[in-house]
Structure 1
Amino acid sequence: MQVSCAFPTALSSPDDIALAEELGFDRAWVYDTPQQSPDVWMVLALAAQRTSRIGLGPGVLIPSLRHPMVNAAATATLAALAPERTAVAFGTGFTGRRAMGYRAITWAFMESYLRAYRGLLRGEVVEWEGAQMRMMHPDGHAPARPVDVPVLIGALGPKGNAVARELGDGLFATLQVPDFLGEYSWVPFLAWGTVLDEGEPATSDHARAAGGPGWALAYHGAYEFGGPEAVRAMPGGDAWMDTVEKAPDGQHHLAVHQGHCVELNDADRAAWDAGGAAMLPDVTVSGTRDEVRRRVDELGEQGVTEIVFQPCGPDTRSELERFHEAVQR
């Protein structure tokens, strides 16, 4: 299994990716979350200049945020800056849309977008929004077409699976392990958590800082996909929902996604303190080195081919080192 990492795109991400290369990680993915991050393509370009081996890519792009020509041109640029190292993943928009108050895009839109995007990279004339277009970059402005870059699709259900099978080169999985995962030869699985010392409780300050942001996704996801009652059924869920519902009408999504994948927000802290911390080992890849290794092995048995670890907390180097050492034992 490949061992990769991910980062919620930040100004420090190019340096973090260079560190990940130094530590031996195979690939670095960064998020397309403009409501809380700098531009993903700018950051990847800087990372390409500071590295020489590690794979690079956005994971995942949200189609509605950019015209397909914009993403095609950016993909070609990164492929020129990091040849043979570039891959791209697309998703329907858990954070990249819901944190701005939108629902996820439809799979019909994703399918049409991907057809246009992939056609552009092949150098074809494609139709988008009633107009015909193609990449017309002269020499020195982009690599010659076709630009051959692997494209992965983030999917959990049958509609997404159908699109991924037809238009993708692999499946980008997160939060859940879909039952069709074994159909794909390339499956990165995005995971959060932390490696605990022997005897360290899951409620330690270190566990909270390093594992908490990933743990909080259980509440964020339950709210978005199951609604308030799904959250209230969870340990600490009443405290979490009570905090979110203090936000003005129409702005609950802002309270939910504040600090998403980076730090605990007010609702997350309330749930943690109300007993939700006990869920940390269940909803993240957290535990001792041996426990983390066993969990990663289990994912491999389910069809995951690339574990993607997002470090959290104040010490990125330590979190990356501990995880890499644990899964390489």
Structure 2
Amino acid sequence: MDAGLVLMSYHGSWDDAAYAEKHGFACVGFVDSPLIAGDPFVAMALTAERTSTLRIGTMLAIPSNRIAPVCATAIATVNRLAPGRAFLGLGTGNTGRAILGLKSLPVSRLAEYIASCRALLDGEEATHRAGDTSQWVRMAHAPEDRYVHRGVPIYVAADGPRARGVAYELGNGWIMGLQGCNAMVNAPEVLGASLAAARAAAAAAGKGPDDFYTMCSLGLCVLEEGESPMSPRALERVGPVAMLPFHAYADNPAIGAHLPSPIRDRLDIYERRVLSRLDVPRDRLYQETHRGHLSHLLPGEEDVLTEEIIRMTTLTGTAREIADILRGLQAAGLRNVTLNPPPHLAREAVREYAEKIAPLLDAGGRVY
């Protein structure tokens, strides 16, 4: 298993990515969330110039943000700058669409988009639809060595069974969020069960476990001796990740009844301390609720969280506790853990992992 980093494409994120490479990290993924993050492909190009081994990709590109020929050409351009190091992470859109007031795309739309990108990157024809018109298209860049596109892997974000099936059928890897698990209690067991189901889909698609790359994006905070998961330091590091279920509820209150009870029991407080104080109409909450996405807590959000929620939704604990969970995840089949720290703490997260967690995972002290 190796380590990666999720970045928000802020100014200087490319230098933070290079810093991660120097500390043994294997990959970096850039968020595709317009209105709250910079353009991922610009950040990826600048990262390519500053690194030599780091794999560079999107975490995650959303089909509705750009047509497949544009996306395929963009990732091919990155792969020309960093030959063999680019990857394309795709998803149905969570915050990247929610910030626009839109719901996630249907899995069928994602599947069609993956198939188009895969065909184009392989030099084959793909169907391109524009309104009521449908045409066959293919890469026409010449000579090909100016736009290296063959061999770029596509990793698919999938938590539900239908999306997992699409990931194994059409993709080269699976990016998961471990929804429905308690991160510091049963994450390895939940991952193992999900992988068992996914392997059945892989067998049906003619793929084996060795053909597939499994990634998980998680918040991480190594607690100091006697430190509470609700300390100001911990909240600054993982509070934005722990708030994601609440942001999803703000977008779609109907999911409230299906959230885990520790989160469901705090929805009233979230309504009173946060949502009711936002200076926008109820039908425009999406303009404000995601403002701190993977970055910072909004006023009042620190009152919503509890120690239990922090440890349910993030890897927050002692170095040994976190290392135990990561070893379990690796044994269950995880091949990459990707950290998603706030922008201003990206380098600190890299150091924390490299200095406090990695030595417990590998006798040589490497980030594995």
Same fold, judged at TM 0.5 (above): yes
Change (3 A) 1:298 1:265: same
State which of 268, 271, 276 in structure 2 corresponds to 1:238: 268
Aligned equivalent of 2:222: 195
Structure 2 residues without counterparts, runs of 5 or longer: 180-189, 200-208, 361-368
Counterparts of 2:31 and 2:351, CA distance in 1 = 21
Deviation at 1:170, TM superposition (A): 1.2
Change (3 A) 1:260 1:175: farther
Tell me which moved more, 293-302 or 162-171.
293-302
Equivalent residues of 2:250, 2:285 under 8 A apart: no
Deviation at 1:99, TM superposition (A): 2.0
Counterparts of 1:88 and 1:313, CA distance in 2 = 22
Aligned equivalent of 2:39: 39
Deviation at 1:147, TM superposition (A): 1.4
Equivalent residues of 2:3, 2:27 under 8 A apart: yes
Counterparts of 1:218 and 1:325, CA distance in 2 = 30
Change (3 A) 1:119 1:231: closer
Q: Deviations over 1:224-250 (max 9, x none)?
A: 565345579525332212222454131
Q: Answer yes or no: is 1:133 the counterpart of 2:150.
A: no
Aligned equivalent of 2:243: 216
Aligned equivalent of 2:334: 304
Deviation at 1:168, TM superposition (A): 0.5
Equivalent residues of 1:292, 1:326 under 8 A apart: no
Number of aligned residue pairs: give it: 325
Q: Answer yes or no: is 1:159 the counterpart of 2:162.
A: yes
Tell me which moved more, 306-315 or 80-89.
306-315
State which of 168, 181, 184 in structure 1 corresponds to 2:195: 181
Counterparts of 1:166 and 1:245, CA distance in 2 = 44
Q: Answer yes or no: is 1:83 the counterpart of 2:86.
A: no
The one-letter amino acid paired with 2:231 is S
Q: Deviations over 1:75-119 (max 9, x none)?
A: 110111111211111110011112211111111111111111111
Counterparts of 1:38 and 1:293, CA distance in 2 = 33
Q: Deviations over 1:108-156 (max 9, x none)?
A: 1111111111111122232211122211112278335x61111111111
Q: Deviations over 1:233-292 (max 9, x none)?
A: 5253322122224541311222321211111113523413xxx34421221001111111
Counterparts of 2:141 and 2:240, CA distance in 1 = 42
TM-score (norm 1): 0.91
Change (3 A) 1:262 1:126: same
Q: Answer yes or no: is 1:170 the counterpart of 2:186.
A: no
Q: How many percent identity over aligned positions?
A: 27
Aligned equivalent of 1:50: 50
Counterparts of 2:304 and 2:8, CA distance in 1 = 22
The one-letter amino acid paired with 2:236 is A
Counterparts of 2:104 and 2:245, CA distance in 1 = 18
CA RMSD of aligned residues (A): 2.2
Equivalent residues of 2:88, 2:154 under 8 A apart: yes
TM-score (norm 2): 0.82
The one-letter amino acid paired with 2:195 is L
Deviation at 1:324, TM superposition (A): 2.5
Aligned equivalent of 2:204: none
The one-letter amino acid paired with 1:155 is A
The one-letter amino acid paired with 1:137 is H
Q: Answer yes or no: is 1:248 the counterpart of 2:252.
A: no
Equivalent residues of 2:229, 2:311 under 8 A apart: yes
Q: Deviations over 1:202-232 (max 9, x none)?
A: 1212111112111112322455565345579
Aligned equivalent of 1:259: 292
The one-letter amino acid paired with 1:152 is Y
Counterparts of 1:171 and 1:181, CA distance in 2 = 10
Counterparts of 2:12 and 2:156, CA distance in 1 = 26
Change (3 A) 1:51 1:142: same
Question: 4+ runs of 1 displaced by more than 4 Å?
Answer: 222-226, 228-233
Counterparts of 1:70 and 1:4, CA distance in 2 = 26
Aligned equivalent of 1:124: 124
The one-letter amino acid paired with 1:244 is L
Q: Answer yes or no: is 1:316 the counterpart of 2:346.
A: yes
Equivalent residues of 1:244, 1:255 under 8 A apart: no
Equivalent residues of 2:54, 2:85 under 8 A apart: yes
Counterparts of 2:349 and 2:33, CA distance in 1 = 22
Counterparts of 1:126 and 1:283, CA distance in 2 = 39
Tell me which moved more, 108-117 or 66-75.
108-117
